[in-house]
Amino acid sequence: MSAHRVLVADPIAEKGIELLQEAEGIEVDVKLGLSESELVDLAPNYAGIIVRSGVKITAPVIEAGSGVLKAIGRAGVGVDNIDIPVATQHGVVVMNTPSGNTISTAEHAFTLMMSLARNIPHAHRSVVEDRFKEGRKAYKGVELYNKTLAILGMGRIGAEFAKRAQGFGMKVVAYDPYLGEAKAESLRVGLCETVEEAVKQADFITLHMPKTPETTHILNAERFDMMKPGVRIVNCARGGLIDEEALLAALDAGKISGVALDVFEVEPPAADNPLLGREDVVFTPHLGASTEEAQENVGIEIAEAIRDQLLHGTVLNAVNMPNLDESTLREIGGYLDIASLLGALAGQLAPQQPDLFRIEYEGNVSNIDTTLITRSALKGFLDIGATSGSANYLNAPALAEERGVRVTESRPADESEYTELMTVTVGNGKETASVSGTFFGAEARIVKVQQHHIDASPTGHLILVENTDAPGIVGSVGSILGDAGINIASMSLSRGIVEGKALSIINLDSAPAAEVLSALEGVPGVLGIRAVSL
């Protein structure tokens, strides 16, 4: 097996590069400062690409690497420089490092807030410029103690910021659509249901959220108008969260006393940006993660993530799919396997032009997060039934949507006769194919095909024989297979269950040729033959 090649396209910590170099099965190239056209030329050679914020991984780059490129790693949090939808479409996992720079960014943002409260940069300049007395009079600040801080975005960085603010005696409220009451209580922050509720009561506001269509200009003219007079704002997250034109107007109107910006809508900001000449704004040049510790942490973290994804298939801190780490694999690995087999079997039994894919969970499996299990079943269906191996956990939902297949999950309320049961149904509005599976101990088994209850192993080459429930048919089938030199590994029979019909599932040591299948179809009483491979 050839080694997986990884391209490091932006500077990362040397320890991260060494980690990849030492991994058996990984080859590393460090090529910095590449243009888009150079990346397009190189992409087909690499299974993994690592970047920071300098290099952009655009749609043409991802498309050029399609079929080879498996993972893109961002040594940092923001992934604005990676085309996520196109990566997902092509089955490329995108991972970032949300924890590596958490402390550095939280500390920097808090430092900016303190500098803003006490006018540190401007006071410093007054001393350097021999304006000591003038500066002492001009730069009177405010205390943090007993002030209300609104945190927009309570992920890792927001939580670390809250700890520091509480240490200074601030009252902390937070808005985050994913923050629950129990978690907010454990963090000792007041939970706000809307952005408006948070900003209306704030003396200070800090932002710690990604830039998305929903969060772009989350602080705008309308929300500036509803803030307290004299509010101070810190943005150490992503440029574009604040509408800079509206911000300038609010500063001019005296609504906002000061702003500290580490990030900008356009970086670097244009020399004629009117914010740059103001005394009520504190700037740093995107330094949130710029500490020795943070850079080493994110370099090592993304190197480990890329290595483990390429060598072991684990996925950690992905932005376009659920995590698939070792603990998750231990919990649901067996379910992933049987779901894929059921999807593949249903796909091969499916009617023409299926537009419905449904998976039902009963028993114990219905009590866990089944997102990846559903994707595994869908992958099995699409791989064999439609796309010749192009589906994976990432792009399976998008491929299904592209082909007009509606995917649904259900958890029937009726009590199951099995401890756990998964049923995959594929149909086109007129016909459906349905298969169910479970575990007998640790062994996966097919226990139902359409309405036929059966017990069969979902592996290898199978033929499904539907026939009238009459003597001699199974023997004739066995004779034809024997005459063709095809050994039967096992046989499972469901007899007389549906309208006098029987179903046999026969596991074979080799796939039957077309003429063998034709001979089987000619056996009197045989109603249908389907050959499948799992």
Q: Which two three-digit tokens encode residue 530?
A: 């389907």
In angstroms, the CA 463 to CA 458 distance is 11
- Assign 17 to helix, strand or coil: helix
**Beta strands, E only, 246-378:** 256-261, 281-283, 356-363
HSE of 85, CA atoms in CB hemisphere, 13 A? 1
In angstroms, the CA 206 to CA 153 distance is 9
DSSP 121: H
Q: Are 20 and 6 in contact (CB under 8 A)?
A: yes
Q: Provide the annotated active-site residues.
A: 238, 267, 286
In angstroms, the CA 479 to CA 488 distance is 11
Length of the chain: 534
Tell me: cis bond preceding 268? Omega within 30 of 0 counts: yes
In angstroms, the CA 287 to CA 119 distance is 19
Other Cβ atoms within 10 Å of 25 Cβ, number: 12
In angstroms, the CA 82 to CA 302 distance is 15
- Assign 214 to helix, strand or coil: coil
In angstroms, the CA 445 to CA 346 distance is 14
Pairing, β 526-533 against β 461-468: antiparallel
Other Cβ atoms within 10 Å of 367 Cβ, number: 10
Q: Which amino acid is at 181?
A: E
In angstroms, the CA 117 to CA 198 distance is 20
Q: Are 422 and 405 in contact (CB under 8 A)?
A: no
Q: Which two three-digit tokens encode residue 261?
A: 């910006």
In angstroms, the CA 342 to CA 78 distance is 38
Contacts 24+ apart (CB under 8 A), 54-61: 54/10, 54/81, 55/9, 55/10, 55/81, 56/81, 56/82, 57/81, 57/82, 57/83, 57/87, 58/83, 59/83, 59/86, 60/36, 61/36
* Residue of 342, 423, 336 whose CA lies nearest to 384: 342
Element of type H or E holding 382: helix 371-382
